[in-house]
Structure 1
């Protein structure tokens, strides 16, 4: 097959490019046509909206003031929309269609973008116009409903104020003035409505609603405050004045408060609250009454505390003299006992100084009690302060008694402790002698040096105990420590003595047993000689036992255990 010439390939390439371009142009043309149809549909929908009818209807309605100003604003927006924006959008749509039909798809697309923004803005403006015109048209109807509701509230509040005028006290004048102002505001609303200024009428109705809210709150809040100012507070003030004079004449005094001055201030505060009532200052009145109630309660509390304190003081006055006498007698007895024991014992807890200090505290308490009694007698006592002082005295005496009983208990154990110490000393001496005698009875060649030194230590400890217990003043605390140490050391000495006795006895028995073995066993023979030498020279009986026992056990396994078992059995029968 002949090859295609170069010019043929070029022609084919050009045709392909033209076909592609033509396809793209046709596709863009189709897309533009579709977009234009959609935009034309949106433009027709805008033209079909009943904005013209809304404008014409409101134009025939009597409007004035803010309502008329608002209508003119949105009427102007409607005119601009229909006379400027609509024709401009139509021109853009026509230009876009013309360019698209002429296959100028790029220019057509530019027109489409521009007209899309324009129509979107038209739709937004048309919606704003429609909502604003509807609002203007609805305001009159809404105002009428709001006015009827407000007038109904006004009638109910007026009825309540007139029927219950007595419950509002001096605030009735201000409340009636408020009613008059609200009624005049209703008349102004009627004037605005008849002139067509419905928006301003709505604002006026909103103001009336706020006034009704405030009036309703006043009608609810004022009667309880009036009752407080008219009936409760004056009665309480009168009761406080009478109560104060009655308490004063019966000997009551008060600390850190000038009650006559406080009563005068209460009367002034009541008058000040009445002034707030006349001005219909509900928040101020509520705050003033709250403060009045708190101050009145405080004065009641002050007087009641004094009366309660007096009752408590009377109980303490009846009980404290006997308590003071008891504490004084107890202290004197304890001091005598402490001084007596101090002659025979070393007192380690400053009992002499402590009991003397208690005596001074009791005397001071007696003096304070006497001073409080004098104040009561002279009718100069503040019972809350006296009660506080007597309570402290009572607690102080109770604490002193508790400590004195503890000291007496500790001291009562001194003589018993001395007797127990002497009994223990006697027992230690006897056990030491028995241990020493038992060791002598063994007829041992001697005793190890360490044992003899330890036995001497125990002997000296027992001797020191005997010496300290025979002093003019005995230190039982120190003696108690010595008793504990000596008892432990004596126990150790007895155990070491028993160990030495057992080791010596077993050594002798195994040496006798070894006599039969050493003729044929050189190791046993050497061990026998070595153990005998240790036994008789250094007196280390446990080492001697270990030396011979090890050799015998090696020569005859089990021999040592048998000898030891027989020894323990025999010893147990003794």
Structure 2
């Protein structure tokens, strides 16, 4: 399309404001090119033709270059003009679309407010007024644009578009707010009022000082919010509605709390009394059991004092419950307060019962522990006799003093355990301590016994083997003599083994390990 046609097409769009100014600039640039630039180019071409006819080729070539340069510059400027006109055309199309969209929104607002008047409640007159103002603004825009005042027309159009979308936002927000204020909140408040009156007829007591005043306060807030909605103060109403909803929820919570508490109290009133009687009975039986047990066992954990403390707690709970019963019957207490007391009582009584069971179990453990300790004494004595018999069977020349001392310590410990168990009042903590010590003593004595017997047997084996070197190695002879002395006189069997074993290892490396391995692998052959 020729540039002149593009210019005419854009001119027909009746641009306004800055767009019109920009178009004038591009139009002027095209006029400059189409007049002076084309004239200059035509002159340069004419000059080239004259030079060619006069055979002045060098000057002709230079003139051609100048003409080509002028054409390049013109093409570049034309390209810029085309791009500028294209941008203007596209921008205007976008603006026209935006204007049309705003007009479409306005038409929809006008239709909506006409058809759905009831949804806007007291805000309807103000919204209707705002829609009328938008209509006036669009009318003013058309008048200004037609009369050729593009700058002011653009300002009015911007204002109309902004106003349109503001009103659209308002009209979306108002209906749900009005629904809450006109229907939801009043219905909820009516339900709360009716429920409250019903509960008062049933002689409910509320801990809140002025519940009626709180209900009236919510009612006044609804009226105040409706007045703000009439002025389309939407943000204020949104905030107020959130607070009103919260206040209504709180009122519901109060009513539901007392109704649920009434059901809880009615359901658990008899159970509480039974639980108190149950705890009292258990405590009485436990005290009798403790008194009986204390005759035979030492009680080390203040069991009697604790159980008497339970009784004091239960009696105080019973006193408070008996004091509360007529107050409940005469409707002098909120059910929620009674429920709190009942829940606390259940927790305390449950804790007391758990401790009662724990103490009762510990009493049974005393008898069970005593029986087990008596049985263990027999086991300890049997094991002690077996160890003694085992040592005697070895026919050793004697026993080292430290072994004998430990043997007697273990024996005395078992005797001490027997004495403690035979007391009139058995201290089971002391019994359990001694049982543990006896078990440890016997385990250690068993190890010492076998270490002693093994050392004696290995010494004899080493001495027999070392005799082959007695006459050839002086150090073996001396070691044999010293080992015999330690074995037969001192009864230090481990020292005797170390003495002969060390000497034998020097003469015949590996002999000690070989004899030792054979001994432990073939104990019956040694």
Name the residue aligned to 1:470: 422
- Distance across 2 between alignment mates of 1:454 and 1:540: 15
1:186 to 138, 144, 154: 138
Does structure 1 residue 274 correspond to structure 2 residue 226?
yes
**1:318 alignment counterpart:** 270
Aligned-pair CA distance for 1:188:
2.0
C-alpha distance in structure 1 between counterparts of 2:18 and 2:383, whole Å: 127
Counterpart mapping for 1:481-500 below 5 A: 481-493=433-445, 496-497=448-449
The answer on 1:365 being equivalent to 2:321 is no
Per-residue displacement from partner, 1:46-68 (whole Å, max 9, x unpaired)?
xx9759x87xx98xx9x999699
Aligned with 1:461 (options 413, 423, 438): 413
TM-fit CA distance, 1:412 = 0.9
* Residue correspondence of structure 1 range 48-59 to structure 2 within 5 A: none
Tell me, in whole angstroms, the C-alpha distance in 1 between the residues paired with 2:266 and 2:132.
Answer: 65
Q: Is the 8 A contact 2:23 2:85 kept in 1?
A: no
Q: Contact 1:503/1:542 (CA < 8 Å) preserved in 2?
A: yes
Distance in structure 2 (CA, Å) of the matches to 1:565 and 1:151: 110
Residue 309 (str. 1) matches residue 261 (str. 2):
yes
Q: What is the distance in 1 between the residues matched to 2:270 and 2:453? A: 76
Cα distance in 1 between the residues matched to 2:520 and 2:116:
120
- Return closer, same or farther for 1:124/1:319 CA change in 2, 3 Å cut-off: same
Shift of 1:279: 1.8
Which residue of structure 1 aligns with residue 184 of structure 2? 232
Matched, 1:401 2:353: yes
* SS of residue paired to 1:344: coil
Whole-Å separation in 2 of the counterparts to 1:418 and 1:258: 67
**Match in the other structure for 2:332:** 380
Change over 3 Å in CA distance of 1:298–1:124 after alignment to 2: farther
Q: Does 1:422 align with 2:378?
A: no
- 1:330-384 CA distances to partner (integer Å, 9 max, x unpaired)? 1232233334434433333332333333333333433444455454233233333
Which deviates more from structure 2 when the two are superposed, residues 494-503 or residues 290-299?
494-503
Question: What is aligned with 1:33?
Answer: none
Is this contact kept in 2: 1:447–1:539, CA < 8 A? Answer: yes
Pairwise CA distance, 1:307: 1.2
Tell whether the 8 Å contact from 1:510 to 1:563 is kept in structure 2 after alignment.
Answer: no
- Cα contact 1:77–1:129 (8 A) shared by 2: no
In structure 2, the partner of 1:164 is 116
- Shift of the 472–277 alpha-carbon distance from structure 1 to 2, 3 Å rule, reads same
Measure, in 1, the Cα distance between the counterparts of 2:243 and 2:32: 66
In the TM superposition, what whole-angstrom CA distance separates every residue of 1:390-441 from its partner, at most 9, and x where no partner exists?
2232122222222221221122111222232233334434554565567668
Is this contact kept in 1: 2:30–2:78, CA < 8 A? no
Would the aligned equivalents of 1:68 and 1:197 in 2 still touch at CA under 8 Å? no
Query: TM-score, with normalisation over the residues of structure 2?
Result: 0.72
Distance 1:501 1:216, change over 3 A: closer
Deviations 1:226-263 (A, max 9, x none): 33332322222111111112212323333457422221
CA contact (8 A) 1:507 1:541 kept: yes
Measured in 1, the distance between the counterparts of 2:90 and 2:458 equals 129
User: Any conservation in 2 of the 1:78–1:129 contact (CA below 8 Å)?
Assistant: no
Task: Write out per-residue CA displacement over residues 287-308 of structure 1, whole angstroms, 9 at most, x where no aligned residue.
Answer: 3333333322332222112212
Three-state SS of the structure 1 residue aligned to 2:423 is coil
The unaligned stretches of length 5 or more in structure 1 are: 1-47, 94-100, 103-114
Instruction: State the alpha-carbon separation in 2 of the partners of residues 564 and 232 from structure 1.
Output: 96
RMSD between aligned residues: 5.5
Contact 1:343 1:473 in 2 (8 A): yes
Q: Conserved in 1, the CA contact under 8 Å of 2:16 and 2:154?
A: no
- Which segments of 5 or more consecutive residues in structure 2 lack a partner in the other structure? 45-57, 60-69
Are residue 223 (structure 1) and residue 175 (structure 2) matched? yes
The alignment covers a number of residue pairs equal to 505
Deviations 1:30-80 (A, max 9, x none): xxxxxxxxxxxxxxxxxx9759x87xx98xx9x999699959996998799
Aligned to 1:471, the other structure's residue is in SS state coil
Q: Which moved more, 1:343-352 or 1:523-532?
A: 523-532
- CA distance in structure 2 between the aligned counterparts of 1:124 and 1:562, rounded to whole angstroms: 113
Query: Secondary structure of 2:332's match?
Result: coil
Describe the shift of the 1:74–1:440 C-alpha distance in structure 2 as closer, same or farther (beyond 3 A). closer
> Is the Cα–Cα contact under 8 Å of residues 168 and 222 in structure 1 kept in the other structure?
yes
What is the rounded CA distance, in whole Å, between the counterparts of 1:443 and 1:541 in structure 2? 13
Partner of residue 109, structure 1: none
Q: Report Cα offsets for 1:431-483 as digits up to 9, x if no partner.
A: 54565567668776543222222222223222322332333433222222222
Q: How does 1:207-218 map to 2 (within 5 A)?
A: 207-218=159-170
Q: 2: distance between equivalents of 1:525 and 1:128?
A: 125
